[in-house]
Amino acid sequence: MLTGRRNKEFPQLRDVVYLDHTGATLPCVSQLDAFQRDLRNNLYGNPHSRSASSSLCSETVDQVRFRILKHFNTTAEKHTVIFTSGCTGALKLLAETFDWTGQTGSCSAGDGSTQSDHQNGVQCKDRQMGTFAYLQDNHTSVIGMREVAHSRGAKSMCFTSKGIQEAMNRPDGHSDSGNHSTAKDHATLHTQEATLSPTSQQRVTNGPLASSPCNLFAMPAQSNFCGRKYPLAWIERIKCKGLSGCHGNWYVVLDAAALVSTSPLDLSECKADFITISFYKMFGFPTGLGALIVRNSAANVLVKEYFGGGTVMAYLATENFNKPRTSVAERFEDGTIPFLDIISLRHGFDALDRLGGGMNDICEHTFTLAKQVHNALYEWKHDNGSPIAVLYCHNHFVSIHDQGPIINFNLLRATGQYIGYAEVERLAALHDIHLRTGCFCNTGACQQYLNISNEKIKANLDAGHVCGDDMDLIDGLPTGSIRISFGYMSNQSDVDRFLAFIKSTIKVSAAPSTLIPSSSTSSSDSSLKEVSRSSVLSTQSQLPMATAVLSSSTSTKSISSTRPSGIPDTCTSSESASKSSDCSPSASLSLAASSPPATSTSLSSPPISVPPESQTDIPMHGSDNTDAQFPQPSLNGNNLAAKTDSGISQTVQTSGPTEIDAAGPRLTAIYLYPVKSCGAMEVSEWELTDAGLKYDRRWMVVNEGGVYMSQKRIPKLCLIRPVVDLQTKQLVLTYPDMRSFSLPLETVPLETNETTLCQGKVCGDRVKTIDCGDEVAQWLTEVTGQHCRLQKQAEDHQRASKLAQGDDSKSSALSLANVSHYLLINKSSTTSLLNAIHQHAHEDNTETTTVSTLDNLIRRFRANLVVDGCDTYDEESWSELSIQGQAFKVKGRCNRCQMIGIDQGSGEKSTETLSALSAVRGKRIFFGMHIMNSPDLRNGFKLRTGDIIEVLQRCPSVETSV
Ligand SMILES: *Cc1c(COP(=O)(O)O)cnc(C)c1O
């Protein structure tokens, strides 16, 4: 990062050398400003509510989930983000929900049970018990999982990196490496009651069990002590072959908190089942937010016990009953998630992206800086030739692949004596250098590298040394060390100033006594004398192992309701129906009145007013509300304008049995909506594709946070009229009183650059989209007055319709439309509705209605196809159609939402359309039919206005509601 830029982005670093990025890295100014702006400009409500502000919030949060997954090169199909209070929170959640005893049966795929007993050591005798195995070089927060595992009946094993490699190489042999010990009594006999939560009681009654236990192995992706990167290849080996012959399935949790602050992590490659991170380690803000990233295929092994706000579908206060939600994230995020913090993450990722080089560049940059320091500490000598430092380092910065930008060391005097870390820290402070000392929440690694035995740790504790104090030397030997770590904004001047500081310190320390002001840590502290030096030098320390035994009554199968479904986040079709905010992808029609594109002819119709007494009631077809009566418009001289296939308006009679066209229904208008939720483009003939009308709903408008913006959020969008110009192969966007904007139809300005790819979300499923660039974003922002961008559906991305089943699946590809390929409305039905609206207005003594014309009403429904020449609501009985010999399936009625309240010519909202519709149609407001291609769509097939519609099949009552 250029010095000027760093000064601007990190004013907090102006005078200091900050070298504790593994402790916490720093947020930059542009990130914080963008977040503030975001909060000022957007109304985010509690995501559990159902208001517009709530849905904006939850959709923005979902976009952040995608952003996180994208950062780690995976997708929501493979992984789920569960937000937690931090990396520690994620590890704790995992420990508490992991199915240690295989109750869910998710581990029963194991190799049966008979074979293992005789050949395994003590640890694996009881096949109901899972094992928690972990590397000694783990963060405290990982080691702490052990206690939860014990309380649930699992055993634990601690491995050095050498030990784990031996164990991996001897997957079914005896584990005699000495790295795991036997029972540790404090953990063993927790009372049965303590572990019998209501849920486990339910499980107990649920009958006989299962199954092999589930085992969990925990390793850091990068040691927070010394920066060692552990081989991710271990993960797959452990998952495949297990460890030390322990029976059952193995799962792996990768503590990636330290790694991801300066390195890429590719989850498409990494086989870990669980990955834990903290975001302040990546970009400094917010603190107190992390994630448990779960491989979806492993989600079944998490058993939910506690439930809190938002995580259950139903529960009883008076009875022991609850049903967790099915999506993984929803089940495990109890209470209101910290939604503003989560929304701020986008600005953190943006800050990383603005650097331009991605995590690989950050990785290289920080490694290069750290390596200079490492080499200096390694090579520099005192005048007498003795080394200046002891480095605690695995491989001396040989390779970027096994070393992160962390240097851990202690300084030595020329005499060979240690300089206490607390002393160094105080000196550093005088130089405005911020570093970290002690054991870094990683006692295991500290013991290994500093060669401190368990006995010594305990003796030191007895002697008064606790984590975090400044008793840096006991008996002349260090109780901890010094760690410096680099972040993406670190620069050469940080290195230079640090090395200058080391030089001066070494000089000072060459003198027999230090010039540093008093320290309680002098090596001659008499109270510590009795701690024997030899104990410090004892051999490789081992953490005690523990075995816990739990009554088998808790090891029963979990009730099925507690099992997560494998696939998170995906609406079922019924859910999507109710959520489907605007039926719109296929839902309605709009033509902006202002500047019609050359290729279209706008509808025009005179205002009509139908006296109420002229109406007749007819029974409706296919309605679920048989009480509803439909006012039937009578013509009484009120002829309505309609287009014929020639495109010339003529007056036709629109309704009433006698007016039915002898030739049957005809197609009278075709509309596409190239940009979802923007204005319509009317055409007289148009090519069909597997996903509907060519170019229909291929683009969409998103806000800065990547959230899809519909007319419900920005009503003005209907005034943007996109025109597909097939001649010039351009999409032309027009807006009243604005210069138009053209962009290529096919060759999207995509530099096949991954960062321009982004995932959108339509009705709960995910769409791969391509960002169309800054220029059009600028245009849209001018038009709407909000920061907006245009995205195009990626060509390779196929969405499947929720309405498709069985043989339809081939033909069910969708554009950005929510539900189906085409939405069809019947002009007679629309006329009838118009009459009802006018009747309502009349009854209410409302003189004016904004729905003055048939044209206006048709546009509100944003249909693709308008038919005429058949009875009012006749379309609701259709189930199969043929047009020019090409078959189409009718999939059901379209459930309407508030979007039909938006006047597509003005962007004004009113409620009368929806209330009239609900008055005449009952509670579920259906209008128009969803149509799908049949699988045999002819290549290049074109629909034309005037096409005769043959109704091949009818069903008396279409109950599909979408
Ligand atoms: C920082 C860190 C943690 C703990 O993260 P919190 O945000 O404090 O929960 C865990 N593991 C590693 C490797 C870390 O670096």
pLDDT in tens, 614-660: 333 333 333 333 333 333 333 333 333 333 333 333 333 333 333 45
Ligand 1 mean position, distance from CA 454 (Å): 23
Q: Tell which one of 83, 84, 85, 87 to mutate to probe ligand 1, the residue whose CB is within 8 A of the most ligand atoms.
A: 87
**3-state DSSP assignment of residue 126:** coil
C-alpha distance from residue 949 to each of 631, 660, 688, 874 (Å): 25, 13, 16, 12
Judge if the beta carbon of residue 481 lies within 6 A of ligand 1: no
> Is a pLDDT exceeding 70 seen at residue 716?
yes
**3-state DSSP assignment of residue 200:** helix
The least confident of 277-281, 550-554, 666-670 is 550-554
Supply the pLDDT for residue 751.
Answer: 52
Tell me which H or E stretch contains 819.
Answer: none
Strand partners, 17: 433
Judge if the beta carbon of residue 444 lies within 6 A of ligand 1: no
Phi-psi bin for 516: left (phi > 0), alpha (psi -120 to 50), beta? beta
Q: What angle do CA 640, 641, 643 make, to 5 degrees?
A: 140
Judge if the beta carbon of residue 258 lies within 6 A of ligand 1: yes
**3-state DSSP assignment of residue 910:** coil
Segment 362-388 shows an average pLDDT of 96
The residue among 910 and 107 whose pLDDT is bigger is 910
Dist CA 782 CA 735 (whole Å): 10
Q: What are phi and psi for residue 98, nearest 5 degrees?
A: -65, 135
The least confident of 67-76, 669-678, 805-814, 895-904 is 805-814
For 489, which DSSP code?
A: T
Asked if omega into 607 is within 30° of 0 (cis), the reply is no
Closest ligand 1 atom, residue 221 Cα = 13
Ligand 1 mean position, distance from CA 222 (Å): 11
Closest ligand 1 atom, residue 258 Cα = 15
**What are 396-433's pLDDT values in tens digits?**
999 999 999 999 999 999 999 999 998 899 889 889 99
Closest ligand 1 atom, residue 290 Cα = 7
C-alpha distance from residue 522 to each of 286, 455, 537, 805 (Å): 39, 22, 20, 77
Q: Tell which one of 139, 226, 287 to mutate to probe ligand 1, the residue whose CB is within 8 A of the most ligand atoms.
A: 139
Judge if the beta carbon of residue 290 lies within 6 A of ligand 1: yes
Residue type, 917: L
Average pLDDT in the chain: 77
**3-state DSSP assignment of residue 436:** strand
- Strand order across the beta sheet in which 406-411 lies: 389-391, 406-411, 481-485, 436-438
Dist CA 904 CA 908 (whole Å): 8
* Catalytic residue list contains 441: yes
Contact 232, 270 (CB under 8 A): yes
**CA dihedral sign of residues 134, 140, 141, 144:** positive
Judge if the beta carbon of residue 139 lies within 6 A of ligand 1: yes
Q: Tell which one of 222, 255, 436 to mutate to probe ligand 1, the residue whose CB is within 8 A of the most ligand atoms.
A: 255
Could you tell me the pLDDT band of residue 926, with boundaries at 50, 70 and 90? confident
Supply the pLDDT for residue 552.
Answer: 32
Dist CA 574 CA 959 (whole Å): 13
Judge if the beta carbon of residue 907 lies within 6 A of ligand 1: no
Closest ligand 1 atom, residue 223 Cα = 13
**What are 258-268's pLDDT values in tens digits?**
999 999 999 99
Q: What angle do CA 820, 718, 570 make, to 5 degrees?
A: 35
243: which 2 tokens?
């460890």
Among 124, 363, 441, 894, which one carries the catalytic annotation?
441
Ligand 1 mean position, distance from CA 762 (Å): 35
Count of C-beta atoms within a 10 Å radius of residue 383:
9
Ligand 1 mean position, distance from CA 278 (Å): 7
Supply the pLDDT for residue 121.
Answer: 37
Supply the pLDDT for residue 531.
Answer: 32
Supply the pLDDT for residue 430.
Answer: 86
Judge if the beta carbon of residue 436 lies within 6 A of ligand 1: no
Judge if the beta carbon of residue 224 lies within 6 A of ligand 1: yes
Dist CA 619 CA 631 (whole Å): 9
Ligand 1 mean position, distance from CA 258 (Å): 7
Dist CA 246 CA 174 (whole Å): 10
Dist CA 89 CA 74 (whole Å): 22
> Is a pLDDT exceeding 80 seen at residue 571?
no
Judge if the beta carbon of residue 278 lies within 6 A of ligand 1: yes
Ligand 1 mean position, distance from CA 150 (Å): 22
Closest ligand 1 atom, residue 288 Cα = 7
Judge if the beta carbon of residue 87 lies within 6 A of ligand 1: yes
Segment 220-230 shows an average pLDDT of 97
Phi-psi bin for 292: left (phi > 0), alpha (psi -120 to 50), beta? beta
Ligand 1 mean position, distance from CA 611 (Å): 73
Strand partners, 751: none
The residue among 525 and 877 whose pLDDT is bigger is 877
Judge if the beta carbon of residue 86 lies within 6 A of ligand 1: yes
Ligand 1 mean position, distance from CA 352 (Å): 20
Judge if the beta carbon of residue 704 lies within 6 A of ligand 1: no
562: which 2 tokens?
């507690």
Which residue is closest in CA terms to ligand 1's atom 15? 258
Count of C-beta atoms within a 10 Å radius of residue 911:
12
Segment 667-672 shows an average pLDDT of 96
The least confident of 186-195, 343-352, 659-668 is 186-195
**What are 170-215's pLDDT values in tens digits?**
655 444 333 443 333 222 222 222 232 333 333 333 333 446 789 9
Closest ligand 1 atom, residue 139 Cα = 11
Chain position carrying tokens 């008064």: 464
Judge if the beta carbon of residue 220 lies within 6 A of ligand 1: yes
Contact 925, 855 (CB under 8 A): no
Q: Tell which one of 225, 228, 275, 278 to mutate to probe ligand 1, the residue whose CB is within 8 A of the most ligand atoms.
A: 278
For 471, which DSSP code?
A: -
Contact 588, 884 (CB under 8 A): no
